[in-house]
């Protein structure tokens, strides 16, 4: 029983990280400037550095990115 729960939790964590990577790549490439203009002018090195944080915080960033799209029709 404990093994099944552990396997389920590991699978859930892997799915969260996989979704984070799928979100992070386009967000770091194009979406980061919608949330923060200064970050949008960041270098490739900066974008690589923030990538793990974006993967970890993707649900919050997705919500902010989506809300900015609705509020700011550029």
Question: Which pLDDT belongs to residue 10?
Answer: 97
Mean pLDDT along residues 3-22: 96
CA distances from 61 to 12, 24, 51, 67, 68 (A): 20, 9, 12, 10, 10
Q: What's the structural domain count of the chain?
A: 1
Question: Which pLDDT belongs to residue 74?
Answer: 52
b/e sequence 27-49, b meaning 16+ C-beta within 10 Å: bbeebbebeeeeeeebeeeebee
Can you give the pTM of this predicted structure? 0.82
Residue 50: pLDDT band with limits 50, 70, 90:
very high
32 vs 49: CA distance, rounded Å: 13
Q: Range of 8's domain?
A: 2-71
pLDDT at 14 over 60: yes
pLDDT at 33 over 70: yes
């Amino acid at each position: 029983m404990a093994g099944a729960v552990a396997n389920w939790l590991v699978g859930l964590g892997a799915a969260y990280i996989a979704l984070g990577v799928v979100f992070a790549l386009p967000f770091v490439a194009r979406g980061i400037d919608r949330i923060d203009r200064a970050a949008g002018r960041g270098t490739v090195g900066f974008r690589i550095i923030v990538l793990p944080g974006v993967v970890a915080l993707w649900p919050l960033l997705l919500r902010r990115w989506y809300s900015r799209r609705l509020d700011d029709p550029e």
